[in-house]
Amino acid sequence: MSSNIIPEFAVVGHPNEGKSSVVSTLAEDDSVRVSPVPGETIVAQTFPVIIDGKTILRFTDTPGFQNPRYTLTWMRNYTGADERIVEAFRNAHIGDPNFKDDCELFMPIARGAGIIYVIDGSRPVRSNDRAEMEVLRLTGRPRMAILNCKEDDTEYAEQWKNELRKHFNSVRIFNAHRATYSERIALLDTLKSIDQDWQKPLETVICAFKKDWEQRNTLTAELICDMLRDCLTYSMNTHFTDKELEDNIRKTLQENYSSQIEHIEKKAYQKIRELFKHNIFNYDLPPQSILNEPIFSQKTWHFLGLKPMQLAMAGGFAGGAVGAAIDVLAFAGVSMGLFVSLGTLLGASSALIGGKRMSKTKVSGMELGGYEMKIGPNENIQFMFILLDRALIFYSHVINWAHGRRDYPEPKLHHDAEPSKTGFTTEWDAESRKICQDFFKSLETMKSFKVYDDSRKELCRNALSDMLKGVLHHISQSERRYGLILKT
């Protein structure tokens, strides 16, 4: 095969064995129709893998075998040239409705596609399966078998492996509903070895996949940096004249501030999701994810962010329970200092993290009369680490959500007697936390800190972005299932 030819693989098998899910996951295309109803795929449909506007690989979803035993008998009686057996079968049966699915299935194989045979490894081998395997062997095409074991049911896996090895160049267990990026790359790497003629073009494909994934991680790191900047520098204010309404106005302002922070966060998440080609199927987060908790809830601040000692070392704070400064500026000629807590809305009580409250209310006199209440920007470095944890958990959800998957299984919840920090940042070393601290201090709108010049801010941002790229790479390469943080 020439390295300039785009490799194609026909994904074939018995109806309702998971072919469409495999195609959707391998092609990273959530437009592939996936249904538990057998026979939903009635025509062969090709889904290209496009990187930088160029098609580098094609996967073709096919109908299930319709009459494998008859097809096998016909092929065994065929006396023509071996390389024309698939084309000859199609020519002989193309108008017969009894072989419509078989003819459709053979169409990509007739034009030179390799074969990925998908079977459900949770059931035993049947006589029809043996007929299908022998039919595919007689095509003479490079072929791999995938054991698509549903819900990790591998009771019959060894029986299947023994049968499949008789007919296929390679056999892999591959759960299309749970496949990670690393597992998809490993499968492509195996395809590379099923036939020497396929090695060079598939090496090009794998190289393009890895480069594209690295670029996605780079863009994700930049999106996270933008989101951090926007959340950490965000503030809002409101004017009022009736001092008796101050408590209600404060509550409304806090709620609006919280809502706006979540809006900034969700906007960044949507862009990350699009980078990883989740464009059509609108999945929800798994029910056990900590991301279902509001960002300013006590549970979020308890589970995510740094431990108290890490926080003190990273930010030079003894703690700081509340994350945003509220300033009330009076225009009535009266001045007094008050301290207030945003309570559970902005993170928890002082006992949760330790140390003194950081939110304050101050009133200063001005000529015009009336009051102005302001909230933000957030001056607690813990807020930055919580935002980071949440973004990295969302990234883990996205990259581990296989495109062929359509829902989450029922969560298996457990309850810890003493819940502990379960985010990413608590595991970082001192150097990584120092990078975060420098970025935090570089934001010139953080009035408690020195204003850095633009070149210094750029250096701090670049250092954070580079560090995050390494973290994202580690997550995507890890066998660990990040992000499924269980609520207690």
Q: Which residues contact 452 (CB under 8 A, 6 or more apart)?
A: 441, 442, 444, 460
- Rounded CA separation 42/283 (Å): 26
Residues linked to residue 37 through DSSP beta bridges, in sequence order = none
* CA gap 241, 90 in Å, rounded: 83
* Average pLDDT value for the chain: 78
Residues 6+ apart with CB under 8 A from 162: none
Task: Provide the 8-state DSSP code for 450.
Answer: P
Q: Model pTM?
A: 0.80
Residue 396 has pLDDT above 80, yes or no: yes
How many angstroms separate the CA atoms of 416 and 288, rounded?
14
CA distance 298 to 304: 10
Is residue 65's pLDDT more than 70? yes
Task: Single out the residue of 485, 476, 472 nearest to residue 225, CA to CA.
Answer: 472
Which amino acid is present at 407? D
The DSSP result for 345-380, as a single string, is: GGT--HHHH-S----EEEE---SS-SEEEEEEEE--
CATH 3.40.50.300 domain extents, the chain: 8-177
Query: 460: Cβ–Cβ under 8 A, 6 or more apart, which residues?
Result: 435, 438, 439, 441, 442, 452
Q: What is the pLDDT of residue 283?
A: 59
The H or E element containing residue 363 is strand 360-363
Q: Is the pLDDT of residue 78 over 90?
A: yes
Query: Under DSSP, is residue 135 helix (H, G, I), strand (E, B) or coil?
Result: helix
Percent above pLDDT 70 for the chain? 74
The whole-angstrom separation of Cα 292 and Cα 209 is 32
Sign of CA dihedral 178, 55, 224, 426: positive
Say how far apart CA 485 and CA 390 lie, in whole Å.
11
Residue type, 148: N
Q: Tell which residue, 381, 383, 361, has the closest CA to residue 448.
A: 381
Q: Backbone phi, then psi, for 410, in 5-degree steps? A: -60, 130
Per-residue model confidence as pLDDT tens digits over 353-384: 332 333 333 334 444 567 788 888 888 889 99
Nearest to 141 by CA among 14, 333, 12, 241: 12
- Among 3-12, 50-59, 446-455, the minimum mean pLDDT is found in 446-455
User: CB–CB of 178/405 below 8 Å?
Assistant: yes
Contact 265, 231 (CB under 8 A): yes
Neighbouring C-alpha atoms within 13 Å toward the C-beta of 346? 31
Collapsed DSSP state (helix, strand, coil) of residue 329: strand
Nearest to 468 by CA among 441, 444, 435: 435
Residues 67-87 have a mean pLDDT of 94
Which of helix, strand or coil describes residue 124? coil
Name the phi and psi angles at 473, rounded to 5.
-60, -45
* Contact between 163 and 196 (Cβ < 8 Å): no
- What is d(CA 88, CA 72) in angstroms, rounded to the nearest whole number? 13
Question: In 3-state terms, what secondary structure has residue 52?
Answer: coil
The per-residue pLDDT for range 147-202, each reduced to its tens digit, is 887 656 667 888 889 999 999 989 988 887 777 788 888 888 888 888 888 888 88
Confidence of residue 328 (pLDDT cuts 50, 70, 90): very low
Nearest 10 degrees: Cα torsion 440, 446, 448, 451: 80
Any idea how long the chain is?
488
Q: What is the C-alpha separation between 158 and 155, in angstroms, rounded?
A: 8
**Residue that has been written with the tokens 């509550």 in this structure:** 251
Residue-level pLDDT at 317: 41
Higher-scoring residue by pLDDT: 318, 263: 263
Chain centroid, CA 129 distance in Å: 35
- For residues 480 and 51, give the distance between their C-alpha atoms in angstroms, rounded to a whole number: 27
User: DSSP code of 284?
Assistant: P
Cβ-contact 231, 261 below 8 angstroms: yes
Q: Which CATH architecture has domain 8-177?
A: 3-Layer(aba) Sandwich (3.40)
